[in-house]
């Protein structure tokens, strides 16, 4: 998928998350859902914090702060090609798990806006992205800047489904 298409998709996904945020009942936002697991608040905190951290890592690749000529694992290339994780639930890496917290809807909107602003600032830099400069993802291995961008898209879509499961559990 082209970088332009991924940027466009990320904007649409961010808009969908904002619309979903407006639909979520304030009384349910920070509650543990009937299915247990993370609340809406914790999902928003995780996904947008992780997305901002991923932009940092993507920018490291853009600024040649990664490693040269590291291979991307075959399974990872399949995930990036098909645009989805294999079915199942996944454990959040400890670094990110420790960062999950309850936030307000206002804080969630601010995180989304910060992400969009950073994303837009990186658009032109992506033209100089070098495919052979990669940084390490804790589960997927080495990714270059374009792969990190695609990962953000896949990760956001994955957690959007989680929001829908939470919503269903409250009904």
According to DSSP, the β-strands at 141-144 and 133-137 are antiparallel
**What is the tally of structural domains in the chain?**
1
Enter the tokens of residue 56.
């940092």
Write down the pLDDT at residue 13: 97
Write down the pLDDT at residue 1: 64
Write down the pLDDT at residue 92: 74
Write down the pLDDT at residue 35: 86
β-strand partners of 68: 133
User: 49: domain CATH number?
Assistant: 1.20.120.450
- Written as tens digits, the pLDDT of the chain (171 aa) is 688 899 999 999 999 999 999 999 888 999 999 888 899 999 999 999 999 999 999 999 999 998 998 999 999 999 999 999 888 776 777 777 778 889 999 999 999 999 999 999 998 889 889 999 999 998 899 999 999 999 999 999 999 999 999 999 988
Write down the pLDDT at residue 18: 97
How far is the CA of 72 from the CAs of 45, 108, 139, 161, 164, in angstroms? Answer: 28, 32, 12, 26, 31
Q: Give me the domain span that covers residue 134.
A: 3-170
């Amino acid at each position: 998928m082209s970088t332009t298409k991924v940027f466009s998709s990320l904007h649409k996904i961010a808009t969908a998350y904002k619309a979903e945020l407006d639909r979520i009942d304030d009384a349910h936002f920070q509650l543990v859902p009937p299915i247990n697991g993370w609340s809406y608040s914790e999902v928003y905190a995780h996904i947008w914090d992780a997305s901002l951290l991923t932009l940092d890592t993507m920018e490291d690749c853009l600024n040649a702060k990664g490693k040269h000529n590291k291979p991307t694992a075959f399974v990872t290339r399949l995930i990036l090609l098909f645009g989805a994780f294999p079915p199942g639930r996944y454990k959040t890496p400890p670094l990110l798990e420790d960062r999950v917290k309850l936030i307000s809807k206002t804080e969630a909107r601010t995180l989304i806006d910060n992400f969009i602003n950073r994303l837009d600032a990186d658009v032109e830099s992506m033209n100089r992205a070098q495919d052979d400069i990669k940084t390490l993802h804790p589960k997927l291995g080495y990714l270059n800047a374009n792969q990190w961008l695609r990962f953000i898209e896949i990760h956001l879509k994955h957690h959007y489904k989680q929001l829908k499961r939470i919503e269903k559990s409250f009904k």
